[in-house]
Amino acid sequence: MLGAVLCDIDGVLRTWDDAERWRPVLEVALRPDRLRPAVTGAITDEEWRAAVRAELPAAQRALADAWAGPAGIGRVDPELVRLLREVRRKVPVVLVSNGTTRLEADLAGLGIADLADAVVNSARVKAAKPEPAIYRIAARRAGVAAARCLFVDDSLENVQAARRAGMTGVHYQGTGPLREMLVPLMQMAAIRGDRSARHSEEGSTA
């Protein structure tokens, strides 16, 4: 029985229409030796961006400055936002991201700070996908057993790690296929919720 939906942020909920613009910066920023300290909280977002900027040729540093500002925040998928709000009326929703210490500010800037019941930011919990610990933390934040969590991510490696953690892993292929999968599960969750409520009422009047 579905108990919670755990959803990735970047590449799923958030995308960048102008990603090609940032390519010279991202080739440095997303290199494992640069990215991992930032997403595991070993360094702050500001330290990460400063290190990336310093490594770039002088001609590209203005681009790095723009990437670090509002222009680099990306955009959210409004259809997926609506779907997650629907889901949240039935079961808890937790966002799970390999993020930096700026993630929470980005969510506020994108207008989705209140979208989920909790946000598991790797930089805050000191564990990043696909490490097992972040999946255990996410299930605890959702308040349900891992076996009742549905985990959504655009990275197959992260999905496979979720499955090893006992979750139902879904490789994200777009909002449409995800909705088709979630609607019957939400209906079952709603029925279970109604039954639980009735049982509680019956118990209180017994």
Q: What is the pTM of this model?
A: 0.89
- Work out the average pLDDT over 116-121: 98
Could you tell me if 151 and 135 are in contact, meaning their C-beta atoms sit under 8 angstroms apart? yes
Q: Where are the alpha helices (DSSP H) in 12-167?
A: 23-29, 32-39, 45-55, 61-68, 78-88, 103-109, 122-125, 132-142, 156-164
Q: Over 50: is that where the pLDDT of 205 sits?
A: no
Residue 163, phi then psi, degrees to nearest 5 = -65, -40
Burial of 182 (0-12, 13-18, 19+ CB in 10 A): buried
Looking at every residue in the chain, the average pLDDT score rounds to: 91
pLDDT at 184: 83
If you average pLDDT over residues 19-35, what whole number do you get? Answer: 96
